[in-house]
Structure 1
Amino acid sequence: MSTTTTEELSATTLLRFATAGSVDDGKSTLVGRLLHDSKSILTDQLEAVERASASRGQEAPDLALLTDGLRAEREQGITIDVAYRYFATPRRRFILADTPGHVQYTRNMVTGASTAELTVILVDARNGVVEQTRRHAAIAALLRVPHVVLAVNKMDLVDYQESVFAAIAEEFTAYALELGVPEITSIPISALAGDNVVDPSANMDWYGGPTFLEHLETVPVSHDLRHCHARLPVQYVIRPQTAEHPDYRGYAGQIAAGSFRVGESVTVLPSGRTSKISGIDLLGRPVDVAWTTQSVTVLLEDDIDISRGDLLVPTKDAPATTQDIEATVCHVADQPLTVNHRVLLKHGTRTVKAIVKDIPSRLTLDDLSLHPHPGQLVANDIGRVKIRTAEPLPVDSYADSRRTGSFILIDPNDGTTLTAGMVGESFASPEPVKDEAEDDGWDF
């Protein structure tokens, strides 16, 4: 296990990253190799992997078993669920999401990459860029992941040829840049043999860039969201009604972005009522200021009707509320999403009824062309939708805020998550749009 001290950890930054790629590209093996060679696994964990590998007739430890924890994953030899791993080196701390490669589980890649600052897309050097590679690149671009690493794996199976790596890197980079991916780094590796994962490869002296771990340790990461648009989705209203605090009324939640300060004027959305912050409680103690990712309880000077789902924002920086949302979405359910589909839309801590008014286009991954008005989106499709909500929502552009610019669509019948959406354009309609379908209480 790494001997990183507590003092060293406190001085390091945190990087959240996700792996993606097609089936058998070697994601789990890469993660296992990374943990093994960086000495980030315990002895008993390695021994368990060695026993499991031996029981399957393998001479060497199968490092993929360090992340493929479900029984079905081990039986089938594929990753099904998102496996989260936490490890650290003296230079940085890491939260890793190892996501499935099978097209059936693309929805899990969306989950894993939604909070990532870096996405690793693996490519089998023998196969090059395939449809699932393009799909994962499109999702990374859609989720605005700031850094993308192309890891060309299994270089040992193509005799470590520089020309093979260069051709794949050139094709992928051109595709990703067209999608709008801001930064792409290509690294040739062999996860099985350990080439360029933690230690430089003696078999690829033509490569002069960083190893995989070195890039993870040095890629610039900024977590300073204190100067972004301040947003606090209310999760719970606290009223202890004790003898010590008979009139206590606090509004609890995790700050999604920005900072809040005692004495600041705030607006409650969607009602539009205003007040001033009279106090902020953090971990049971009063503070003068709190910022993003901190879970706090805010007290206001005025007695306002506030409940779960409301949003606290600075009065001087309040977003507009709208019932008409246009967004880019990734459809993740087996059930198609169709025009006039009745859904529930969850934005922050608020869930409202909604109707899919139009599906203007669907993205064709091969050439990035748009198929106009497809009528529906099926599993793993990426497209544009127009949605009308039953109640006004305070939405930001996803480009401005990944937290308050995103939403999910839910099947109201069984609670299944249908679609993950990123707000690209919102506009207010002065007149309600009437649906021509049968009146079932969902027209608004």
Structure 2
Amino acid sequence: MSYKIQITAPVNRTATIASKVVASREKRDFYGFRNRKAVLPVIQVPIDLPVYRMENFRTFTDQRDYIANEGKDSHYFSAGQESEEVQQVQHQLLHRLALKGKADSVVPVSDVLETDGQREPLLITSSGVVVNGNRRLAALRELYGQGSKFSHFSHIDVMVLPPDATVEEIVDIEANLQAAPETKLAYDWIGEAQLINRLINLGRTPKQVAVQLHRKERDIKYAIQTLAEADLYLKEAPGTSGSYSDIREDAEQLFGDLPKLLEGKSESMKEASRVIAWTLYQNKGRLEGRLYDYNDAIGALADDVLDRVADELGIATEDGGDDADAECSGDFAVDLGSEPQTTNFSGVIEALKAPENDAAIEALIEATQTVIQLDKGQKSGSAALKSVQQAHTKLASVDISRADKTTLPKIAKQLEAIKVVVRDMEMKLAKLRY
């Protein structure tokens, strides 16, 4: 970066802009302000006069990442609009965006300005804060800093909002411009959700925001819920840096699906399902297929998944009852016909959240893949076969020679109970076959 930010004091900026507005003979129509056409003065100002607006939802994610990576205060940007240091950082973030294009539909801002010069004025407040055109300003400043070839960028064209424009109206301008049907570099999903949240916090209903952004109301609600789940993940999930860069590219669908997958669950089961989702997301490279394919393991089949993980790790999940009665009764330990017992999966959640939890992760991945396969089998009519295959695999893996001698009588009783179940199944199978 060759351009160095130097801030003009706010009172001097305001005075310079006011004097130029009075002398201006050029006006332009602007349609994003106060829901009607506004006729705004156009003036020329030195390129170093305007300041970047920090409440910029296009750069929100980059700002959060910078704060996390550099250990800055959470208000570093919002409180730093008049700080040369913060303005310099914002300049770097904006110039990086100005160099970006999108597929074949968006030419990088910097390339357009280098070839064609400034074609449209920036939009600024009466105190010189850039409301629209922050990326363009960053690109113009970098080009100007390259030397005489771009010396004509020493002054730039700006449209000026009236002095009584409010903070709320400025947020509306950004929202209205983002909603305009133009080809421009889109916000990432986090920045867009933050803009929607800001509008909701201004007292708008989801329906009103949907109308303003030319969206459907359900899309607005989806964005709000998605962001809430993403923020919860960054705050509570183990192994995260707390930075939006962790989830920027590929997590929108997961966090968007979670509210529906959690619907109707108790608070404790919501927590458990979230931990399943978070663990699978962090280990998606170890899964077969797409993460989306495991939605049922997070939602409707979560209890089964957690039971299997608990069994694999030897974690107790029952809130009450006497296991010894079942063990000594001669019955098969898995009760296939009774009502579900009250379970507590806090031990499983704790194991999955533990720093050294590879065994728990492996157990979870195996459990999720098993329940998904079994569920598909039930829908295809092959559930019985898959269950028998799984039982066989489990039994074949048991090494009796390593069992504690005190457990041998109980093992013998369990095997007798298994024989009873097998004989019963064989009788039913014979009737079906013949």
TM-score range relative to shorter protein? under 0.3
Taking structure 2 as the reference length, the TM-score comes to 0.22
Taking structure 1 as the reference length, the TM-score comes to 0.21
> Which structure shows the higher helix fraction?
2
> Which structure shows the higher strand fraction?
1
Structure showing greater radius of gyration is 2
